Chain A
Amino acid sequence: MRVDRSRLPEVGADPAFRFPDIVRHTLHNGLQLRTIERRTMPVTSMVVQVDGGAVADPRGREGLAAMTADMLDEGTGSLGAIEVSEGLARIGARYDADAGADVTSLSLTTLQRFAECGVAWLAELLIRPSLRSADFDRVRQMRLDRLQQLKDLPAAVAERAFLRLMYGDHAYGHLAIGDAVSLGAMTLEDVTAFHARRFGPSRTTITIAGSDTHDGLLRLVDGAFSGWSDDATIDEPASASAGQPEASSRLTVVPREGAPQSELRIGHLSARRDSPDYPALLVMNAVLGGEFVSRINLKLREEKGYTYGARSGFDWRRGLAPFVLRASVHTEATADAISDCLAELEGIRGPRPPSDSEMVLAKASLTRGYPRGFETAQQVARSVARLALYGLPDTYFEEFVPRVQAVEAADVVKVAGRYIDPARAVVLVVGDHQSIADSLSPLGLGEPNLLAADD
Chain B
Amino acid sequence: MRLSLTFNWEVYIRPLLSVKGKDGDRPGGLEDSILDVDSLALPFTKRTLANGLHVVVHEDHHVPIVAVNLWYHVGSKNEQPGRTGFAHLFEHLMFEGSEHHNTGFFPPIQQAGGLLNGSTNTDRTNYWEVVPTSAVDRALWMESDRMGFLLPAVTPERFENQRDVVLNERRQNYENRPYGLAVVALTATLFPETHPYHWPTIGSADDIRAMRLEDVQAFFRTFYHPANASLTLAGDIDTDRAFDLADAYFGELPPGPLPAKVGATAELGSEVRLVLEDRVEMPRLYMAWLSPAMFDQGDAEMDLLGDLLANGKTSRLYRTLVYERRVALDVSAYQRSQELAGSFLLVATAAPGGSLPDIAAHIDEELQRVVDAGPSSDEMERARAQVEAHFMYRLQTVGGFGGKSDQLNAYNVFRGDPGFFAADVSRYHDATTSGLRAVAARVLAFDRRVVLSVVPSGRRDLALSDSALVSVS
Contact = CB atoms under 8 A, between A and B. Distances in A.
Interface of A: 1-3, 5-6, 8-17, 29, 40-43, 76-79, 81-82, 85-87, 89-94, 109-111, 113-114, 116-117, 120-121, 124, 127-128, 138, 141-142, 145-146, 148-149, 151-154, 195-196, 199-200, 227-232, 258-261, 291-293, 301-303, 305-308, 328-330, 360-361, 364-365, 367-372, 374-378
B326 A141 contact: yes
A364 B111 contact: yes
Nearest to A78: B9
Given A86-B382, A92-B386, A111-B392, 13 more contacts: A6-B100, A8-B138, A12-B135, A41-B395, A77-B13, A90-B19, A91-B19, A92-B389, A94-B393, A142-B322, A372-B115, A375-B398, A376-B396
Given A229-B2, A293-B107, A142 B19 contact: no
Interface stretch (B208-216, B274-282, B340-348): B274-282
A365 B7 CA distance: 50
A123 to B, nearest CB: 9
B323 A138 contact: yes
B13 A124 contact: yes
B172 A308 contact: yes
Contacts of B1: 127, 195-196, 199-200, 228, 230-231
A223 B421 CA distance: 37
B51 interface: no
Contacts of A141: 326, 351
Given A85-B314, A148-B281, A261 B171 contact: yes
Nearest to B174: A260
Interface centre among A307, A328, A375 (most CB of B within 10 A): A375
Given A308-B165, A308-B172, A376-B397, A5 B63 contact: no
B248 A3 contact: yes
A369 B111 CA distance: 9
Contacts of A10: 138
B25 interface: no
Interface centre among B16, B19, B281, B385 (most CB of A within 10 A): B16
Interface residues of B, number: 93
28 contacts: A8-B142, A9-B141, A15-B236, A17-B64, A40-B62, A41-B392, A89-B385, A90-B381, A90-B385, A91-B19, A92-B385, A92-B390, A138-B326, A145-B282, A145-B351, A227-B3, A227-B7, A228-B1, A229-B2, A261-B168, A302-B161, A305-B164, A364-B110, A365-B111, A369-B65, A369-B113, A369-B115, A370-B113
Interface string B320-350: 0011001001000000000000000000010
Contact of B36 (A42, A230, A261): A42
A314 B162 CA distance: 28
Nearest to A226: B5
Interface string B99-114: 1110010111011111
Contacts of A259: 176
Nearest to A197: B1
A302 B252 CA distance: 32
A452 B162 CA distance: 34
Contacts of B322: 142
Nearest to A85: B313
A43 B394 CA distance: 11
B271 interface: no
Contacts of B99: 5
B177 interface: yes
Interface string B386-406: 101110110111100000000
The 3 A-B pairs of least Cβ separation, nearest first, read A368-B113, A92-B389, A305-B164
A337 B386 CA distance: 46
